[in-house]
C-alpha cells in the first residue's frame, strides 16, 4: 500500500479529529536526522475492515477477486494490490487496510461474501496508525517489543500482533528503510506516542561505545 492520503475536503469526514492531532508538533520535533535518524508520524483515518471467512469457501474466492489480492494463509504474511493491503490475523481472519473509502470497501466485501458464513466489519475508528521510520527505527522498537526484529526474522511485508511497551499493537514492516506501521487501539495511542518519543530521545546524542 502506498503512502496514505488524508481526506481534507468538506463534509462530516473533514470534522474528524485523530487521537494524536494534539501531539503532531511534538512528534515532528522528536525526529532525529543522520545515521541514527528516526521519525514518528501519525497517518490518521486509514480504512480498516475486519474480515472473517472460511479460506476454502467460494466466498473467499470472490473476496480475493474483489480485492485483487490473495488472502494470506500464514501468520505474519500480507498481500497487496492497488490501494489494499491484506494482513493475516488468524486462520479465518484478516484485516484489510486501504486508501479507498471505508464505506465502499465494506459494501464491496459484503457483496462478495453474500449469504455465506462470515463477517465484514468496518473497524476504521477502532485504531489509528503510527509510522516509525529511519535507520534507528528498529532499535527504538527493540526497547519494548518482544519480537525478533532482525531482518533475518522480520522484514518488509511482515505483520504480526505484538506489544510495544505495554501497548498491544499490530506491527507491520512496510519497507527496508526501515519503516514500520503500528496500529494501536485509539484509546492507547497517546500513551504509545509518548513511549516512542521517549525511546527516540537517546538517538539525538552520539552512540556510546
pLDDT at position 53: 98
Distance between CA 20 and CA 52 in Å, rounded?
Answer: 29
Total-model pTM? 0.90
pLDDT at position 1: 61
**CATH number attached to the domain at 47-125:** 3.30.70.1520
Residue whose cell numbers read 521510520: 133
pLDDT at position 26: 98
The C-alpha cell that represents 166 in the structure block: 505495554
Confirm if 156 and 174 have CB atoms less than 8 A apart: yes
pLDDT at position 103: 96
pLDDT at position 9: 46
Confirm if 122 and 131 have CB atoms less than 8 A apart: no
- First and final C-alpha spacing in the chain: 38
Q: Do domains 21-44+128-203 and 47-125 have the same CATH topology?
A: no
The C-alpha cell that represents 68 in the structure block: 485483487
For every one of its 209 residues, what pLDDT tens digit does the chain have, with 9 covering 90 and above? 656 654 444 455 566 889 999 999 999 999 999 999 999 999 999 999 999 999 999 999 999 999 999 999 999 999 999 999 999 999 999 999 999 999 999 999 999 999 999 999 999 999 999 999 999 999 999 999 999 999 999 999 999 999 999 999 999 999 999 999 999 999 999 999 999 999 999 998 877 66
The C-alpha cell that represents 72 in the structure block: 494470506
Rounded to 5 degrees, φ, ψ at 148 are -80, 105
Q: At what angle do helices 58-67 and 102-113 cross, to 10 degrees?
A: 150
Domain definitions of the chain by residue range: 21-44+128-203, 47-125
Domain 21-44+128-203 listed as CATH 3.30.1360.120: yes
Exposed e or buried b for every residue in 171-205, given b needs 16+ CB within 10 A? bbbbeeebbbbbbbeeebbeebbebbbebbeebee
pLDDT at position 207: 74
| Among the listed residues 195, 205, 184, the one whose alpha carbon sits nearest the alpha carbon of residue 27 | 195
Distance between CA 67 and CA 100 in Å, rounded?
Answer: 11
Amino acid at each position: 500500500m502506498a503512502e496514505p492520503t488524508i481526506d481534507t475536503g468538506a463534509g462530516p469526514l473533514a470534522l474528524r479529529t485523530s487521537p494524536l492531532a494534539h501531539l503532531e508538533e511534538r512528534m515532528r520535533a522528536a525526529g532525529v536526522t543522520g545515521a541514527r535518524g528516526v521519525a514518528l508520524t501519525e497517518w490518521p483515518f486509514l480504512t480498516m475492515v475486519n474480515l472473517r471467512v472460511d479460506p476454502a469457501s467460494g466466498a473467499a474466492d470472490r473476496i480475493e477477486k474483489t480485492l485483487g489480492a490473495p488472502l494470506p494463509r500464514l501468520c505474519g504474511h500480507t498481500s497487496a494490490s492497488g490501494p489494499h493491503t491484506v494482513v493475516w490475523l488468524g486462520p479465518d481472519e484478516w484485516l484489510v487496510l486501504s486508501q479507498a473509502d471505508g464505506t465502499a470497501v465494506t459494501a464491496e466485501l459484503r457483496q462478495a461474501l453474500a449469504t455465506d458464513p462470515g463477517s465484514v466489519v468496518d473497524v476504521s475508528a477502532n485504531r489509528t496508525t503510527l509510522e516509525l521510520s529511519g535507520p534507528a527505527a528498529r532499535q527504538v522498537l527493540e526497547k519494548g517489543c518482544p519480537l525478533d526484529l532482525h531482518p533475518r526474522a522480520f522484514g518488509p511485508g511482515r505483520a504480526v500482533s505484538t506489544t510495544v511497551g505495554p501497548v498491544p499493537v499490530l506491527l507491520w514492516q512496510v519497507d527496508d528503510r526501515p519503516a514500520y506501521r503500528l496500529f494501536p487501539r485509539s484509546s492507547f495511542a497517546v500513551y504509545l506516542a509518548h513511549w516512542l518519543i521517549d525511546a527516540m530521545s537517546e538517538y539525538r546524542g552520539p552512540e556510546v561505545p
